[in-house]
Structure 1
C-alpha cells in the first residue's frame, strides 16, 4: 500500500511555504510522495492572476529538485470548478492500492464544514491539518495534526510585493522567481 500526500491549491504563485509544508508532512507521516495538484478553477477563490499553464510551469519549477514531489494535472485535465471530492473520487478509482492524505492549512480546517460534499470526502481521504497564524486546528471532522515550522507566507502577499516593486527572493524558489520576472507576472 502506498501512502501519498496531496497538496492542492491555486499555487498563484507557488512559494517556499508550500514546499516546507509538503516536506514536513511527508517526513512526519512517512509518506512515499506528495502530489501537488493545482486547481483549474478554485471554488474558494474569486479570480486567478495567471493562466493554468503558467501556474503549472511555476509549480513544476518549484518542485523539480525533490524526487518525492510530483505534479498532478488531474484537475487541469478535468477543467471547470475543482471540487476536492471529485478529484479524490477519481484518484481513489485510479490508485486503489493507495491511501491518500489531503494536506490543508488551519484556515481550510476551519472552512471544512463548507467544503462541497464534505461527508463523502472524509470517507475518501485522511485530512492532515497544519498550523497557520491566526487560525486554530479545531474541527468536528477527523484530521491528523502535524506540527511544522511556522512560516508566514501567502501567494496574496507575494503578488502584492511584486506589484509594489519589492523583492520576493527566498520567498519563492529561485526558478519560480526567474519565471515570474521573465514573464513580468503579477505586475
Structure 2
C-alpha cells in the first residue's frame, strides 16, 4: 500500500523507476501496479540501466533487460512507459545525468500544465540509505523527491549528511523473499522452477530462450 510521508503528497508527479532489472521480478511488477493505481501519478518511467556504477556486471545483457522491461511495462498498466536513455549511452550512467535528461524530455513532450509536476525517483530502502555515495547526491536531492520501497516494517534510515524528501513509502513485506539476486542465484544453480515462481509469467519464454531450456 502507499502511505503519505510528506505534506506535498497532494501534487501530481512523474515516477522514475530506475534499476538493473536483472531480471525484473514480481516485486517490480507489484510496485508498477501500485503506482499505476495512484491517481496523483501521471506516468511511471521505467529506466533500465546499462550498468549500475556501484554494482558488478549484470547477468542479462542491456538489450535483454530492456526487452524484459518492455514486457513488464505492457503488463503493469497504461501509465508505465519505457525510456532507454541509459541503455543507449552504452556505458554506466549516474542517476543525476538521467534525471537532468528526463527533466528536459518531460518539458519538451508534455503539456505546459505538467511542468509543475514533481519528479519522484523510486528506489529500495537500502539504496536510499546509501544515497550519499551517489554522484552529486546533494544536487539530486534538490531535483527529485523519493518513493522508497520498504521490505521490512522498521523505519526508513536516512543517508548520511543529506535531507532528501520522501514523497511516499511502499511496503512490500510480503515480497521480502523475492529479489533479482535471489533469482540469479537460483538460475545459476539450475533451480529454474523456483526462479520462475518469482517472475511474471509474461517473461517465462524469454528466460527459457536465454537459458536454452
Q: TM-score, normalised by structure 2?
A: 0.79
Relative to structure 1, is the Cα distance of residues 145 and 67 closer, same or farther in structure 2, using a 3 angstrom cutoff? Answer: closer
1:29, 1:146 → 2: CA distance? 16
Q: 1:177 aligns with which of 179, 200, 204?
A: 204
Relative to structure 1, is the Cα distance of residues 33 and 159 closer, same or farther in structure 2, using a 3 angstrom cutoff? Answer: same
Deviations 1:88-137 (A, max 9, x none): 01111222324211011111111111111011111111111121249741
SS in 2 for 1:14: coil
Which portions of structure 1, spanning 4 or more consecutive aligned residues, are displaced by more than 6 angstroms? none
Pair 1:47 & 2:57 matched:
yes
> Residue in 2 aligned with 1:118?
137
Tell me which structure has the larger Cα radius of gyration: 2
> Residue in 2 aligned with 1:31?
41
Q: What are structure 2's unaligned runs of at least 5 residues?
A: 1-10, 108-114
SS in 2 for 1:147: strand
Maintained 8 Å contact 2:151/2:171: no
Maintained 8 Å contact 1:5/1:26: no
In the alignment of these two chains, the number of paired residues is 186
Maintained 8 Å contact 1:4/1:31: yes
> Residue in 1 aligned with 2:180?
155
Q: Tell me the CA shift for residue 47 of structure 1.
A: 1.1
Q: Tell me the CA shift for residue 28 of structure 1.
A: 4.4
Pair 1:10 & 2:20 matched:
yes
1:15-94 maps to which residues of 2 (within 5 A)? 15-28=25-38, 30-65=40-75, 66-94=77-105
Q: Tell me the CA shift for residue 147 of structure 1.
A: 3.2
Q: Tell me the CA shift for residue 16 of structure 1.
A: 1.0
Q: TM-score, normalised by structure 1?
A: 0.89
Deviations 1:39-71 (A, max 9, x none): 012112111112111111111112212211111
Relative to structure 1, is the Cα distance of residues 170 and 136 closer, same or farther in structure 2, using a 3 angstrom cutoff? Answer: same
1:103, 1:72 → 2: CA distance? 15
Q: Tell me the CA shift for residue 138 of structure 1.
A: 2.0
SS in 2 for 1:44: coil
2:62, 2:74 → 1: CA distance? 18
